[in-house]
Structure 1
Amino acid sequence: MMVEIRNAIESDIEILLNFEKGIVDAERPFDDSLKEGEIHYYDLMDLIRSERAALLVAVVNNEIVGSGYGKILEAKPFQKHKEYAYLGFMYVNPTFRGQGINGVILQKLMEWAKSRGLTEVKLDVYDANVIAKNAYLKAGFKPHLLKMRLDL
């Protein structure tokens, strides 16, 4: 299977919005703080147009089957680096999962970050999402900080 990774373009938006819905649906069981109904995590058009972000898509046989973005964010003043790459919108069509596509997208995003002189990459994953956590561990990520919450 040949996987092409390319920058997303504006005409990809409908597919990307469906991917976003897939992410939200998959994450709802892990987060009871999400509003009911349709919600959006990302401003996808802004990510496509931004010079400080790369929204990538994975294409197999002319079909977009995966996505992910990297965005340059400012680090906290007390950190060693001034900026870092934050990754998100990691999604692979269920039919194509388990074939290494997410890993290829991650690798391209890390190359993008390095090409901009960044030395750190961060992402968020729900602690209970064992499959996603294992994929990121396999890619070399390490747990860093556990965010906790409490409903009042």
Structure 2
Amino acid sequence: MNEINTRSAKMEDLSTLLEFEQGIITAERPFDPTLKEDPISYYDIKKMITATEIKIVVAEIESLIVGSGYARIEAAKPYLKHSNYAYLGFMYTDPKHRGKGVNAKIIEALKEWCRSHDITELRLDVYSDNPSAIRAYEKVGFKKHLLNMRIGL
């Protein structure tokens, strides 16, 4: 198997990252009836690449970008034990490279960055009707915590 390497995202990666963003939206659309019709965008990726409180990591196999993810440092609620946490998002693996451990490598790189910023808590959101995503996150140590509920009026 080819080695998976991770590195910080660069502006030169922008076109690939924009494609990944649309891949995420396409994958999530069946789980979320509240999304507007296309075209939509979730992120300001250019701004995120240069932000000091956000780390975008890409995974490469033979210099080809095959996955992405970010960690964003946020202030925790004042009643929690930790003062800050990192929110993970933009988690994407090219469908041709799923099942190879790309997501795990990205999360490990994000964990390292978080530790270097004294972050001790990681959080992310996943659709409750997406068992494959839930399994992927549980596989790297995440546990279910809260269930977010909604009702349309």
Q: TM-score range by the shorter chain?
A: over 0.9
Q: What is the distance in 2 between the residues matched to 1:119 and 1:62? A: 31
What's the secondary structure of 2:36's corresponding residue? Answer: coil
Moved over 4 A (4+): none
TM-superposed CA distance for 1:38, in Å, is 1.1
Query: What TM-score, normalized by structure 2, do the two folds share?
Result: 0.97
TM-superposed CA distance for 1:3, in Å, is 1.2
Q: 2:130 is matched with which residue? A: 129
Percent identity, please.
Answer: 49
1:57-101 alpha-carbon deviations (Å, 9 max, x no partner): 001111111000001000011111111011000000000000001
Q: 1:18 is matched with which residue? A: 19
Task: Spell out the pairing of 1:63-102 with structure 2 (5 A cutoff).
Answer: 63-102=64-103
What's the secondary structure of 1:48's corresponding residue? Answer: helix
Give the count of matched residue pairs.
152
Q: Give unpaired runs (5+ residues) of structure 1.
A: none
Q: What is the distance in 1 between the residues matched to 2:72 and 2:48? A: 8
Q: 1:59 is matched with which residue? A: 60
1:13-36 alpha-carbon deviations (Å, 9 max, x no partner): 110000000000000000000000
TM-superposed CA distance for 1:123, in Å, is 0.3
TM-superposed CA distance for 1:43, in Å, is 1.2
Q: What is the distance in 1 between the residues matched to 2:108 and 2:11? A: 23
Query: What TM-score, normalized by structure 1, do the two folds share?
Result: 0.98
Q: What is the distance in 2 between the residues matched to 1:124 and 1:109? A: 16
